[in-house]
Structure 1
C-alpha cells in the first residue's frame, strides 16, 4: 500500500459515520441506523423489526422538548460532550409493514444525574421491547418498562432505587405486570431511632382491585372461579404445605368495598365453640398504605389494623384484633364436590391495606396451617398487602372457560411520531 492510500484509510477510519439512507433518517442529519433487531411476528404472521437510530448530540437545556416524540430535523451535531452541556440523542422505531413505522422511545442521555454515568439499555425479544434507564449519583435509580409490540401496549413497569455503597446498599422499588395482574413493593430496612426495633426489609405483594362484569359481581361469582385474576396466597405464617391439595387460598378485590375469596381444602372442620380452632378466613384492613409506614417501633394508634375471622363452613363473622365495630357482610357458595367455598365479602371502607389469611385446622383442636396473601405479622399494618387499583383502560377480568381471565384494555390509537414510552 502506498503512503497516500494509507493516509486515506486512516482518515476514513477517523471520520464521523455517514448519515444513513434509511427513510427514518431522511432530512434528519446527523442520523444513522445503529442496529436493526428482529422482534418476531405479529398476530397475522408479519415480521416485526426494531430500528435503533443515533441522532448525534443536542443541547441538554432544550432537548426536553423532543424527548417523548420524534427529534426535529435540526439543532443537533455529529460530535458533542456531556461536559459541554450536551446529550446523546437516540430513537427506537417499530417497523411493521404495511403500517407506518411507530416511534417507541426517544431519549437524550446527559448522564442522568451528577455522576454522569447513566445509561439506556434496550432489549428486544419476540413481540417484546424492554427499555431500562438508570442514573443518579450515590443514590442510584433505574426505571424499566416493557412493551408488547402487537397489539402495542405497555405490559410491565418497574422502579428501583439503591442508597449506599457496596455492602451497605439498601434497595427499594416496585414492579407491576399488567398482563398477569401481579406485582410488589420492596422497602429497604430504614434507619430507626435508637431503641426502636425494625421490621427490616419488606416485600409487599400487591392485591389487585379489578373491574369485572356486572353479572359476575351480582351472582356469576357463585359459578365461575377466580382463575388467573385471583391472587394466590403463598406465605405460610404457620406450618407447611405437604400436599398441594390440602389447602389453597385466592383473593381478588372487585370493587372498593367488595372482596372475593376462594378457599380450597380436603377436610373441613367446624363449627365448634371456639372459632379459632375451626377452618376460617382472617381478614386484615388498615387505613394507610403499608409501603408508606417505616416499620420502626410500634405503629401509632391511627395506623393500627382491624381484624375479623370468618368461619368457612357457615360464614359467621367474629371481630378480632382491634375489636372492630363495623361488621362484614358474607355470601357463600360451595364449590363442586365440596372441594371448597367461594365467599363474597362486603367490606367497611375506606382502607388502603389488606391481607387475607386461611387458617386450616384438620384436627379441629388447633391452628395447624396459616396461608396468607402477605407475610402478615400480627397487629402490624406495615406487613399487609398494598392495594393496586387497575384502571379498566389497562385491564379488566371476564369469564372464560368457567373462570376469570385477564382482559387487556383497548389498544390506544397512537401518532407515529409520538413515543409509546414516555420517560418520567
Structure 2
C-alpha cells in the first residue's frame, strides 16, 4: 500500500459511522444502527432480532424527559461531551416479523454519578434481553432487568448498592424473579453503637403471598401440594440433611391471614408428653417488617416476635416464645402416598414471618431443623419479609396434581414506550 492509501485508510478508521438507512433511524439524525443481535425465535418459529441505535449526544436536562420513550427527532448532536452537560443517547429495539418494532430500552449515559464511570451493559440470548446499569461515586450502585421477548414478560429485576463504612462495604438492595416467585431484600444498614452486636445475613429471602384458585382454598389444598409455588425451606438451624428425602418443608401465603405449609418426612414421631421432641412446625410472627430493622441491641417490646408450635401428627397448637395470646386455627390433611401433610393456618396480623420444621426421628430430641429464613431465637430482624405478588404479575393454579406458577397477561405496550424503565 502506498503512502496515500495509508493516509486514506487511517482517515476512514477515524471517521464517524455513516448515518443508517434503517427505518428505525428515519428522520432521526444523528442515528446509526451499531449492531443487530440474534435473539432466537418466537413460538411460531419467526426470527427475533434486537437492534442497538447510537443516537449521538443530547443535553441532560432535555434527555431526562425522554428516558423510557423513543427519543425525538431533534435536539441531539453527533458530537458532545459530558463536561458540557451532555449524555450519550442510545436505544434498543425488538424487531419481529409481521409486527411493529418495539422499543425495549432507551438511555442517555451522563456517567451516572460524580465518578463518571457508569455503564450500560446489554446481553441478548435466546428469547431474553438483559440490561445492567452501573453508576455512583463513593457509593456504587447497580440495577438490572431481564425480560422475555416473546411474549414480552418481565423475568427478573435487581438493584444493589455498596458504600464503604469503617473499612467495610455496606450492601443494600433487593432482587425478584417473576418466573420463580423468589427474591430477597437487605435489612436496614446497621448503625450499632459500641457493644451492640448485629447479626449477619443482611439479605433476607422473601416469603411470597400469591393468589390461588378459589377451589384450591375451599378444599383443593387437601389433595394438591404446593409444587413450584411453595417456598422451600433452605436454612438449617440444627443438624444437616444427608438424605434430601428425609424431611422437607414448603410454605406459601395465599391471603394476608392464610398460610399453607407442606411437610414431608420418612418417619413421623408423636404425640408424646413433650411436643418439642415430636415432629412439629414452628411458626414465628413479628409486628414489624424485618427489612426495616437493623438488629442492633435487643428488640423492643413493640418489635418482639412470638412463636407457636404445631404438632404434625394431630395438628395441636402450642403457644411458645412470647406467650402469644392469639389462638391459631389449623386444618390438617394427609397427602395421599406422599408421606406428607398439608396444613392450612389462619394467622393474626403480622409483618414478619418464618416457618420451621423440627424433625425428631428418635422422639427424644430435636435432630434437624429446616427454616424459611436464617431464624435466630427471639430475633424479629431474621424472619422473612413478605412479597405480595399482584395477580397481574402471577397467580398459582393446580397443574398435574400440584400448584404451578401462572404468569399474568402480557401488558399492552406502545411501540415507542420502552419495556424496561430505568430511573
The answer to whether TM tops 0.5 is: yes
Q: Deviations over 1:92-114 (max 9, x none)?
A: 00011111110000000111111
**Deviates most, 201-210 or 85-94:** 201-210
Q: CA RMSD in A?
A: 1.5
Q: Is the 8 A contact 1:234 1:373 kept in 2?
A: yes
SS at match of 2:114: coil
Q: What stretches of structure 2 of length at least 5 have no aligned partner?
A: none
Paired residue secondary structure (2:337) = helix
Question: Which residue pairs with 2:50 in the alignment?
Answer: 50
Deviations 1:324-350 (A, max 9, x none): 11111111110113601101000011x
2:284 matches 1:287? no
The corresponding residue for 1:29 is 29
- Change in CA separation of 1:166 and 1:326 when aligned onto 2, cut-off 3 Å: closer
Task: Tell whether 2:380 aligns with 1:381.
Answer: yes
1:20-419 pair list within 5 angstroms: 20-164=20-164, 168-187=168-187, 190-337=190-337, 339-349=339-349, 351-419=350-418
Q: Kindly state the Cα deviation for residue 165 of structure 1 after the two structures are TM-superposed.
A: 8.2
DSSP-derived class of the 1:13 partner: helix
Offset, 1:189: 6.3
Distance 2:33 2:332 in 1: 61
Mark the CA change 1:10 to 1:369 in structure 2 (over 3 Å): closer, same or farther.
closer
In structure 1, the residue matched to 2:18 is: 18
CA contact (8 A) 1:90 1:107 kept: yes
Could you list the per-position Cα deviations for residues 189-219 of structure 1 after superposition, in whole angstroms to 9, with x for gaps in the alignment? 6341011111134231110000000010111
Q: How has the CA–CA distance of structure 1 residues 415 and 67 changed in structure 2, closer, same or farther, with 3 Å as cutoff?
A: same
Taking the aligned partners of 1:153 and 1:182, their CA distance within structure 2 comes to 16
SS of structure 2 residue aligned to 1:164: strand
Structure 2 vs 1, CA of residues 283 and 107 (structure 1 numbering), >3 Å: closer, same or farther? same
**What SS does the aligned partner of 1:303 have?**
coil
Q: Deviations over 1:261-315 (max 9, x none)?
A: 0001111111111111111100001111111100111111111111111011111
SS of residue in 2 equivalent to 1:418 = coil
Once the two structures are TM-superposed, the CA of residue 7 in structure 1 deviates from its matched residue by: 4.4
Give the whole-Å Cα distance in 2 for the aligned partners of 1:140 and 1:200. Answer: 22
1:56 and 1:117 map into 2 onto residues whose CA distance is 18
What is the alpha-carbon distance in structure 1 between the residues aligned to residue 12 and residue 258 of structure 2?
A: 69
Normalized against structure 1, the TM-score is what? 0.97
Distance 2:379 2:403 in 1: 32
Aligned partners of 1:308 and 1:319 also within 8 Å: yes
TM-superposed CA distance for 1:166, in Å, is 11
CA distance in structure 2 between the aligned counterparts of 1:365 and 1:117, rounded to whole angstroms? 60
* Distance in 1 (alpha carbons) for counterparts of 2:38 and 2:400: 34
| Contact kept in structure 2, 1:197 and 1:296, CA below 8 Å | yes
Shift of 1:9: 3.8
Deviates further, 14-23 or 245-254? 14-23
Is the contact made by 2:188 and 2:293 (CA closer than 8 Å) also made in structure 1?
Answer: no
